[in-house]
Every structure is written in structure tokens, then in C-alpha cells.
Chain A
Amino acid sequence: MELLLEVEGLKKSFGGVAALRDGRFQLRAGTVHALCGGNGAGKSTFLKILMGIFGRDAGSIRRRGKEVEFASPADALASGIAIIEQELSPVPHMTVAENIYLGREPKARFGGIDFRAMNRSAQGLLDDLEFDIRATQYMMNLSVAQMQLVEIAKALSHDAEVIFMDEPTSAIGEREAQHLFAAIRRLQAQGRGIVYVSHRLSEIFQIADSYTVFRDGAYVGSGALADIDRPGLIHMIVGRELSEEFAKTNTPTSQPGIEVAALSCPNKIEDISFSVRKGEIFGIYGLMGAGRTEIFNCLFGLDRPSAGSIKVDGTEVSIAKPADAMAHGLALVTEDRKLTGLNLADSVRANICMASLPEMSPAFTMDRAREADASRGMREKFQIKAARDTMPVSGLSGGNQQKVVLGKWFLRNPKVLLLDEPTRGVDVGAKREIYRIISDFASSGGTVVMISSEIDEVLGMSDRIMVMRAGRSAGTFSREETNAQSLVHLST
């Protein structure tokens, strides 16, 4: 059978450093192919070459047996390859149809745009895919998941035969992910080839039928997913044996760590109560927009609750701003480290010290030796891989960046750790290290509240799990009495 896409010996270096040494890949029509690899495995470089953003140093790309050359993203699209990027870039103040046909709007008389024809064909595409989206809606009114569906429609409007999806579920919830998977299955049935890039192994096993693994910029292996199991795939990705995915060693004590009663914030959350003991890891599961992050915002003084009380160590506290929360021993690892966690322009050291500046400058002048020591200590403790700690934190991999955020908070010796999607966009190896850090913190008597939309993670790490639905709690369960099905069921 003819291959939709065949890549061999793809090479790319940046300033003498090889980002991709040997990229190999084969895609058959009507299949969903998972492209796996840790951060730094070369997946992004591989995708960027196929998108026509980077040129290649060596290697061949064949579309249906024919050698192709891309000088620009337009060339790649013209040959039928579309890529749905992890970070979407829609034009928010334009309609869905305008976004789909951006730059190639159907012409009307006098050089105007034929809006009627454009809306009609856009609606046709959306309907064919059974997406419940109107072509005349403004892009800014759509959810992230809907924007992704629009991207798919856009890819099809280019008549793309090969569709790459880079971490498409990183910003959407479980139910929306199921919608996306249904769309992928329809594309598959039409005979197109889908390349699915994700760190989430359970999704890969759910949606894909074959896989290719990259490691350290080179092809490691490929095959049918039916012939490999989860530990086997992890082994290929990481390159070594992992004893257990979730390191969990903590045992909850009987002393309360943080107690939340009847917390409400209009239009966001309503009547949220839970209490977490010292040494416990408390999971919060729910869809995007179910009010999970909003709970943390209220606890950390980023938002004002309209009602409710918060107790730390059994004493009621009042929190009006982040500094208050920090003074009571709370620490917040936010959902999006690039948006709210890190100052990307600044150094690793400055980021680690960012939440401890008053403590490190008793007389207004910074104690620079203490800054350097603190940074060294955290880099050693969490094995943060950075050439120098004065290098910008933007140069680190996702996993190491996340460890810098954790380092920033651990420097304060927190009592309660609030974690919002702590392993989002982090590779399998770094995930384990982060689980180890969380588990060690709880074992030593710390209190952990962890939001996650990864079911395996919630079930693997938490002692108890609260399910959120539409701003309210849908119940709290111990890890033994629940499972993936019931969590998904309760959250929708």
C-alpha cells in the first residue's frame, strides 16, 4: 500500500547542536499514528520541518511516494499536510468562517468578500464533521476545545490528507477530549492519516493504532500499539526501566492541614467544602471550567470569595492577597507556568528567588550570597538541569521549568501545597520526578491539594478525590472506592 507520508534520515542542527539526528516516520492512510518521545526527543523540530518552518540539513520527505520540498508553511499545506499546533493562534475578533478562510476569502464583485459563500462552505465543513459550531460565531466566544475543532475544519478546507495534532488535549477536559476523538475517528474513516503527538499515554492507547518513538533526536522504534503495553512504551520513550509510574509513599495523619468551608464566589464556585489532613494528597478532578482553578484563586487571595471560611492548622485565617496566603504557609503552583508561574525573561536563579525576596533582603539590599545558595540548593534537590543558573529560564525544558516553579515555592518551606495541573506538558521522566517530590513533601507532613485532568494521575497520586462539576462539588471519594469510569461519569 502506498504511504501517505514517508520520512527518512531527517537531520537538523542549530549552531552545532543536533536537535534531530535521524528522524524516520511512516504514515498509512486511514490510521491514527502516535508520535511519542520525551521533551527534547526532537518531536517539535520534526514537526516544524514538516510544517515548512525550519529547513532540513539532510533527509527525505515523500508524500505518496513523491519527494517534496517545503520552503514555507504554505508549501506544506499545498502538499496536503496540516498541523494543528499546541498553542492555537486564532483571530479572536473574527468569525469562525473568517478564521477558516483567512487569507483566501472567496471574492465578490468590486474586490469585496463573498461572505455568504464563505459562511455557507464553512458551515458545510463543520456540519460534515458533526461539530456543533456556527460559522458566524465569533472566535473569542468559543472554548479552547471548540477552537481546536475549528482548526480541524480549517485543515480539511485545505483538503489536507495528513493532519498532525500536537498535544491537542493539553488544554481541554475529558469530555471535550472524547468529542475530539470522535472527530479523529471520522477523519480516519475518510482515509486520512492523523499523527497524534501527546505525553498522555492513556490517550495514545485509546485513540491511536500505531506508534513511532523518538529519543534524543533520533528514531527509536515503531509498530502497532496492539503489540505493546504501557510499560513497554514507557521503556522505549525513557530508554530505561521505570519501576513504578506513580511514586506514592505518604500516609495521611489525623491532624488537619487545611479546612475549607462553604467557599463561594459568584458565577465561579458555590459552596465548596473540604478538609485535607497533614500528610495527605487531596485530588480535585473535573473538566475545564468546572471551577477547579477558581477554588485555588480564592484560597490564594487572587480572587475574593463572597462567603466561606479557610482554616490552616486549625486556625481560621483571612486571605486578601497572595502575600497573606504565603504568610500562612500556602504555596500555589499555577496551571500555566509560562503565563503565571515564571518570569521567562529572567534567570533560573531570579525565578527560584521570586517568592522569597523580602526574606532575602532583611535590610532592603538583596543578600546575593543567599540568593545563589538558595538557587544551588533547589537545583540540587530537584536535579534541575541548567548549564548555569544565570541563564534565562526560557531555555529550559518543560519539566525543568516546572521544577523551577516547585523550587520557588519549596524555598519558602510551605505547609500547604496547592498544585494546579502539576505535570502538564511535562515528559514521562520528569513527571515521575515531580510525583516523587510531591510524595516526599506529603510524607514529611505536608498538605497537598492537587488539581488534575489526567485521570491516571489523580487516581495514582491522591488519597481522596473531590469531583467538580459546574462550580460545585459532585462528591469526595477515597481512592479505593472510585475508578476512572465513575470519575468521568460524575464530572459530566
Chain B
Amino acid sequence: MMSAGDNKSTEGGKNANSWLGSEQRRLLIQEYGIFLAFVILVAVLSVSNEFFLTAGNISNVLLQTSINGVLAIGMTFVILTRGIDLSVGSVVALAGIVSASFVTSSATAGISGAPYPVALGLGIGLLVGIACGAISGVIVSRFSVPAFVATLGMLSAARGMTLIYGGGRPVPALTPAFRWIGTGNILGIPAPVVILAVVFAISWWILNRTRFGRYIYAVGGNPHAARTSGINITRTQFVVYVISGGLAGLAGMLLSARTGSALPQAGIAYELDAIAAVVIGGTSLSGGVGRVTGTLIGALIIGVMNNGLDLMGIQSYYQQVLKGALIVGAVMLDQKRNYGA
């Protein structure tokens, strides 16, 4: 894990040569296989469709990927500790609608004094996400409830709270200042893409360069050994759910800002795309193994594939079938390289 940077310089340097041994080739595919698959996918699409590689389309793909990317990065933290967070889709909706009610006219949502400044809306949305994550985190880490069950409960509860909060109705007409985070540009790059890049950079830094990152890999790799080595497992587990919840809150605001309205049915089944990106990116569901870079590429593969199939005029029904095959195929390759031969 910690060797991501070093490997690139040592092994990456050698790989250009064809005299590479079979062992090194295997390692290379293991390290960069997913990146290779992504490059091939992009190459094939750019040859088969002249529109694919235009600036407008690239920007569009990145924009489409940004929300799933943010969710998948949070999911990576959780899955690395052997957990799972099924609640992110519902948290997207809850954080989206609560924050939206603070940045629309008071007549629309019934919050007196609204609309409030963007910063307050953002802060409240993040807080809602963090609170949901903290509840899941306490249930998993303190009460030893399996993550699948705890977050399945949160999936239902957060969706219910969304409906209660908005009375089942959407919150429309968000202020232009708030909408900027979903529709604005920074130097020609869509704001959500910039946000994804920042989230990725911070997450990469945490996982690869900090003490807490080491804790996450140790707890996921072997909780017993981590405990005996003096690592606080309870706290580590708790914090990863807080991170996942917070990022789900952020994603919820990006979504409502982009569409201009927070819908109570937003984010349904988003957790599945997030898990798919993590799995395609090579992170093991049994914990301790995986990289956030892989997750980003996994999210991009899903985005590029959907976009490419759209460009080729293939119905979205087929896209789902292909995505299913991709998820299973990626894990099958994973199993083969870990246990086969």
C-alpha cells in the first residue's frame, strides 16, 4: 500500500522492455491492470467515435462521474476496513433536501430567514451526512452489528427521514449561488469535477501518507493483529463511516445543485454504483487490500462505458447488463490472480 509511489519508479521503469520476466509481468498487471483496461477502453472509444475525445464530451463524462466518484471514495475507506456502507444513496437524498431547504426562499421550504448563504447550506448538508455516518459508525464499531445490517437500517431510516422532512415533495428553486457548486466552472473545468479531484487528493493523502491510513489497512487486514499492536479498532471503524457519510452528504448537495432541485427520491441505488466502482478498482471486499486510485479509475470506467454506449446509440437497458458483466468480470480476474495458477 505504502509502496504505490516507489513501485512506479522501480517497476514502471523496467516494464517498457520486453525482456521482462513472467513474475514481473504478473506484478505489473496486478498493479496497473485496471489502469490498462481503462486506457484500452478510452482508445477503442476514441477510434470508433470521433465525438468521444472532444473537450465537450470529456467534460461531460467527468461531470457524470463526479457524484459516483465522491461516493465511491468514501466507500473505499469503509470497504478497506472490511465494512460496507449501503446507506449512501439515502444519505444523498437526506443531505440534499435538508441543505436545499436552507438555500431556497423561505416560502418554498418554510425555513424562516431562508435563503441563507451558500456556506451555511453546505455546512448543514455535510453535518447531516456526518451525523448519519456517525450513527452507523457507532452501531458497527461499538455494538458489533454487522456493517451490512447497520447500514441497511440507515438506508431505510434516512430515506424515511427525507420523506418526512420534505413531506414527500421536492425542494425546488435553489439560489444561483448554491447551484454554482453543481453547474459552475473553474478555469473551464466543471466545479463538481474540481471537487472530486480535491476529495481524491485528500483521500489519497490520508490513505497513503498518514497514521490513520496505516490504521485503516491494518484494521482491515487483520483486526486481531491491529488490536494487539495497540491500534484503536473502534475509533478507526467509527471514523471511516463518518467519512463515508460526510462524502455522501457532499454528493447529495452536488446532485441537488446540479439539477436545481432536491428530490426525495434522489440517489436511489447509488450505493450499488459506488460499490461497483470500488470493486472494479481492485479493492477487496474482505478488507485490507485496495487503493483509492483504483476506485477513481473504476468510477471513470463506469462513466466512460455509459457515455460510450450512449454515443453508439445503444439503449440504456444494455448498459446495465454490460455493467453487471464488468463488475463480475473484474472480480473474477482478481480471484484468478490471487488464487489461480
- A residues with a Cβ closer than 8 A to B are 15-16, 300, 302, 321-323, 325-326, 332, 334, 339-347, 349-350, 353-355, 357-358, 360-361, 364-366, 368, 371, 390, 408
Q: Which of A334, A339, A347, A354 contacts B226 (CB 8 A)?
A: A354
Selected interface stretch from B118-126, B213-221, B314-322: B213-221
Task: Tell me if B210 and A347 are in contact (CB < 8 A).
Answer: no
Beyond A16-B22, A326-B230, is A346–B209 a contact (Cβ under 8 Å)? Answer: no
Beyond A350-B217, A354-B218, A355-B230, is A366–B210 a contact (Cβ under 8 Å)? Answer: yes
Q: How far is the CB of B24 from chain A (nearest CB, A)?
A: 11
Interface check B23, CB cutoff 8 A:
yes
Which residue on chain A has the smallest CB distance to residue B208? Answer: A366
Interface check B14, CB cutoff 8 A:
no
Interface string of B167-197 (1 = CB under 8 A from A): 0000000000000000000000000000000
Q: How far is the CB of A474 from chain B (nearest CB, A)?
A: 28
Which residue on chain B has the smallest CB distance to residue A359? Answer: B211
Q: Which residues of A contact B22 (CB under 8 A)?
A: 15-16
Query: Could you list 15 A-B pairs, sorted by A, with CB under 8 Å?
Result: A340-B222, A341-B225, A343-B225, A343-B288, A345-B221, A345-B222, A346-B218, A347-B1, A350-B217, A354-B226, A357-B211, A357-B214, A364-B210, A366-B2, A366-B209
Q: How far is the CB of B253 from chain A (nearest CB, A)?
A: 27
Q: Which residues of B contact A344 (CB under 8 A)?
A: 221-222
Q: How far is the CB of A405 from chain B (nearest CB, A)?
A: 9
Which residue on chain B has the smallest CB distance to residue A371? Answer: B2
Q: How far is the CB of A88 from chain B (nearest CB, A)?
A: 20
Q: Which residues of B contact A326 (CB under 8 A)?
A: 230
Beyond A371-B2, A390-B3, A390-B7, is A366–B211 a contact (Cβ under 8 Å)? Answer: yes
CA distance A16 to B3 in the complex (A): 26
Q: Which residues of A contact B224 (CB under 8 A)?
A: 339-340
Interface check B6, CB cutoff 8 A:
yes
> Most B CB atoms within 10 A — which of A343, A350, A353, A360?
A343
Which residue on chain A has the smallest CB distance to residue B232? Answer: A323
Q: Which residues of B contact A345 (CB under 8 A)?
A: 221-222, 284, 288-289
Q: Which residues of A contact B210 (CB under 8 A)?
A: 361, 364-366
CA distance A395 to B214 in the complex (A): 20
- B residues with a Cβ closer than 8 A to A are 1-3, 6-7, 22-23, 209-215, 217-218, 221-222, 224-232, 284, 288-289, 341
Q: Which residues of B contact A353 (CB under 8 A)?
A: 214
Q: Which of A322, A357, A358 contacts B228 (CB 8 A)?
A: A322
CA distance A366 to B218 in the complex (A): 14
Which residue on chain B has the smallest CB distance to residue A389? Answer: B3
Q: How far is the CB of A340 from chain B (nearest CB, A)?
A: 4
Q: Which residues of A contact B23 (CB under 8 A)?
A: 15
Task: Tell me if B221 and A302 are in contact (CB < 8 A).
Answer: no
Q: Which of B209, B212, B229, B288 contacts A354 (CB 8 A)?
A: B229
CA distance A361 to B289 in the complex (A): 22
Q: How far is the CB of B282 from chain A (nearest CB, A)?
A: 13
Q: How far is the CB of A339 from chain B (nearest CB, A)?
A: 6
Task: Tell me if B211 and A343 are in contact (CB < 8 A).
Answer: no
Q: Which residues of A contact B226 (CB under 8 A)?
A: 343, 354
Task: Tell me if A340 and B228 are in contact (CB < 8 A).
Answer: yes
Q: How far is the CB of A388 from chain B (nearest CB, A)?
A: 9
CA distance A345 to B226 in the complex (A): 13
Beyond A302-B228, A322-B229, is A364–B212 a contact (Cβ under 8 Å)? Answer: yes
Task: Tell me if A361 and B288 are in contact (CB < 8 A).
Answer: no
CA distance A350 to B221 in the complex (A): 11
Q: Which of B7, B212, B222, B341 contacts A343 (CB 8 A)?
A: B222
CA distance A20 to B252 in the complex (A): 58
Q: Which residues of A contact B214 (CB under 8 A)?
A: 350, 353-354, 357, 361, 366
CA distance A15 to B24 in the complex (A): 12
Q: How far is the CB of A113 from chain B (nearest CB, A)?
A: 32
Q: Which residues of B contact A302 (CB under 8 A)?
A: 227-228
Q: Which residues of A contact B221 (CB under 8 A)?
A: 343-346
Which residue on chain B has the smallest CB distance to residue A346? Answer: B221
Q: Which of B6, B211, B341 contacts A361 (CB 8 A)?
A: B211
Task: Tell me if A350 and B212 are in contact (CB < 8 A).
Answer: no
> Most B CB atoms within 10 A — which of A300, A346, A366?
A346
Task: Tell me if B3 and A347 are in contact (CB < 8 A).
Answer: yes
Q: How far is the CB of A465 from chain B (nearest CB, A)?
A: 25
Q: Which residues of A contact B213 (CB under 8 A)?
A: 366
Which residue on chain B has the smallest CB distance to residue A327? Answer: B230
Q: Which residues of B contact A349 (CB under 8 A)?
A: 2-3
Q: Which residues of A contact B6 (CB under 8 A)?
A: 390
Q: Which residues of B contact A15 (CB under 8 A)?
A: 22-23, 341
CA distance A421 to B209 in the complex (A): 35
CA distance A366 to B289 in the complex (A): 19
Task: Tell me if A323 and B1 are in contact (CB < 8 A).
Answer: no
Q: How far is the CB of A147 from chain B (nearest CB, A)?
A: 21
CA distance A326 to B231 in the complex (A): 11
Beyond A366-B209, A366-B210, is A334–B218 a contact (Cβ under 8 Å)? Answer: no
